[in-house]
Structure 1
């Protein structure tokens, strides 16, 4: 079937894998590999031909491109196709005994595939550590183990590179278009070469017209904290769309997830904004308080009288909400602790943030998070992931 649309291309591939019972991790590698090859041609307006066929317990995926793909480029794909240098690539995937469920919406399928890739990357990291330990324990077979270690390192780096774009698209969504509000966001990773971290956010419009914003900072680093942060943001979105009371979301999320993963701990900040009136409600679970910037340039923290506790903490929940009304031109800053702890002094960082935020009272909203992060990170003694979000009520 010829495709000129990337969504229909991925949909056909996912449906074929689902009907054939292909494991989610293999499906994820196949979808990513085919997408990386087909996207340039489809973006340029050229159709690509995708055909699938199940035979002898194998799903054959055949992709025909406008230009040949050399073998050295094929070797860089997450899932290696059959050898060759032509314009046709073929993958053969093992099928399951029982057909798997066909993936749902594209966002859900992307999330499933990304979680499978993150889990695979985590397993590769564990294998890498085990190989290093074995290398230190023995003097025999050093050369063979070193070669294997290098191969694992390269596979790990490739896996990180492949999921980077999927993480950006699926887990760090762009600001939604909301009449009456201007939104901006910036993410700064602790390690520029590693796209994963525990600082994630989510924002969407509820059926009531309110805008819901979730900001999560999972304790820890690397792909494990990323997986836990994904779990928290997804659980909160589900509970919010089911209509559970805003004040109960953090406690309900913690009670639901802690029995599944007792090691999970995350600070959470939830915001509800009514664009038409500027009404704001804040639920804070062990997270740094937001900063309010008024049109006159005054700044202050919107802190609760009784601090709540985050997901996985003892007695989780948000017993005390913050209520505020944004005037036209007022700006609300949400952030993770990496913004104020770069100099290893939280109180100093908070004071500097309040001072620097005043200079952004009338600057374009979309550029505030990046500019403010650069100013706060002029001296970095403690490196941590950082997310900054800016919400301004427009006249």
Structure 2
């Protein structure tokens, strides 16, 4: 998120894009070569067209050559499709939905759609025997009514040799009702018009499992040109189709999640921009007049997290109060996104209202603590609340589990001793102390949140009691640059340059206050 102000085990990595492009190119080259082989297999003796009807057309060797070509073409097409999906950046391993091939009926629920319900573990590569077992062959003789099936085809249909093969008339009864018309049309085109079959359908096995199969076949013509028989190769593509369905569902889910995340981030950013002061450059309190005794020169900067795109719950604010005093506050509410931004809006509205009503910093934090403790969705927060009186140049401040302000005078900085105060929302009835600091012309105050330095905002990160905050240590080292700066805005620029950390894991903000000389 850009600023509103100027200033355990490693996962397996997918192949790089160059490797995938090379594999895709090789697959397409093989596909083109295979097409040439297939055209030669389909040609006549001279390779220039279909052969003349006769006994040669029923040659078993030629039929199997054509069938294997068709099978290889489909395999290469599937491989090309999967490589394209992998190149698009989809996870190489995705959970598959649907039952395993051989689950018993009580583990498979079928709703008539051809999709069985359940959850598969991540897929494993198929062995050579499994790949071979997914392809079977059949031959239906229309003249003798003889049917010949390969053992693999019996396994695909879940039948035994004792059950016998299915005739063309029996086959449709095994197919899902919505797939039967298409299969009937394909068979009619083959048996009546002599067209090749290339069709995919779903069948229901005796155990209730639904399998998706791809049938490639051709009519076998007799000497008169009539269809004498039909042969086919049947490939079980159930796992492939489940994988493709899982990829589609994963892509759709990722797109929905991405859209939701983008919408949430946009709403959080807009809400944050509405809540935080829209300063550009330095701000003068009283407005536009630095000749008033004790006038303030202010500038602020929001530093987004380097590891998260979500808006955090950090805030800063400065507000002129009735009577000439100024409210200065920074804080950090747990959480990210819209929830954190809306929580900041609630807290900052309460802070402004109570400060305008004249509530002092200590009691004000006590009311904020009660507000968070009584909220419908309790959360934790840290805060720093200051009231500056310009005529006396005094700063009265309180803190709730927050890093104390830094005071720079003549280029030398120190951390102000902080009063008692626990995190907001930790306990009911917490009491927050106050301290008053006498300021002098030219003094510089820096208020910041605890995510400023890498690791500083991590929960559970121990720090020695009394030790300065990691961000404060680095800020104290900028004393010379602050002393040479001509405005609060230049000081903010120095902070932004110092804390331009790519490793910062939390959002942070800094508020610079300079007392006019």
Look up the match of 1:65. Answer: none
Cα distance in 1 for partners of 2:95, 2:341 equals 25
After TM superposition, the structure 1 = structure 2 runs for residues 175-254 of structure 1, keeping only pairs within 5 Å, are: 176-179=283-286, 180-191=295-306, 194=309, 196-254=311-369
Q: 1:168 Cα deviation (Å)?
A: 2.1
Structure 2 distance, partners of 1:385, 1:365, is 21
**For the structure 1 residues 262 and 169, does the alpha-carbon distance in structure 2 shift closer, same or farther, using more than 3 Å as the test?**
closer
Which secondary structure state, in structure 1, belongs to the residue aligned with residue 305 of structure 2? coil
Question: CA separation of 1:261/1:162 partners in 2, compared to 1, >3 Å: closer, same or farther?
Answer: closer
Q: How many Å separate the matches in 2 of 1:360 and 1:161?
A: 35
> 1:371 aligned to 2:371?
no
Matches for 1:6-155 after TM superposition, within 5 Å: 138=119, 141-142=245-246, 143-144=248-249, 146-155=251-260
Structure with greater helix share of residues: 1
Q: Which residue of 441, 454, 470 maps to 1:328?
A: 441
Distance 1:160 1:240 in 2: 30
> For each residue in 1:340-385, what CA deviation from the matched residue of structure 2 results, as whole angstroms up to 9, or x when unmatched?
345787655433321223421231211322321321445x544211
Aligned length: 261
Cross-structure match for 2:265: 160
- Are 1:336 and 1:387, in contact at CA under 8 Å, matched by a contact in 2? yes
1:216 and 1:233 in contact (8 A); partners too: no
Contact 2:360 2:387 in 1 (8 A): no
Larger CA deviation: 205-214 vs 343-352: 343-352
**Deviations 1:218-250, CA, capped at 9 Å, x for gaps:** 123333322322222222222222333432011
Conserved 8 A contact 1:215-1:268 = yes
How much does 1:387 deviate?
0.3
Q: Contact between 1:176 and 1:204, CA under 8 Å: does it hold in 2?
A: no
Aligned Cα root-mean-square deviation (Å): 3.1
Do 1:188 and 1:385's aligned partners in 2 also have CA atoms closer than 8 Å? yes
Task: Indicate conservation of the 8 Å contact 1:212/1:271, yes or no.
Answer: yes
Q: Which runs of 5+ in 2 are unaligned?
A: 1-93, 99-117, 121-241, 287-294
Distance 1:260 1:225 in 2: 13
Offset at 1:332? 0.2
1:333 is paired with a residue whose SS is strand
**Equivalences for residues 245-324 of structure 1 within 5 A:** 245-261=360-376, 263-294=378-409, 296-304=410-418, 306-314=419-427, 317=430, 319-324=432-437
CA distance in structure 1 between the partners assigned to 2:515 and 2:385 by the alignment: 18
2:253 & 2:421 partners in 1: Cα distance? 48
The alpha carbon displacement at 1:152 in A equals 3.9
- Normalised TM-score (structure 1): 0.58
What do the CA deviations read for 1:6-64 (whole angstroms, capped 9, x no partner)? xxxxxxxxxxxxxxxxxxxxxxxxxxxxxxxxxxxxxxxxxxxxxxxxxxxxxxxxxxx
- Structure 1 residue 196: deviation in Å? 1.5
> Does the 8 A contact of 2:264 with 2:337 survive in 1?
no
* Equivalence for 1:383: 505
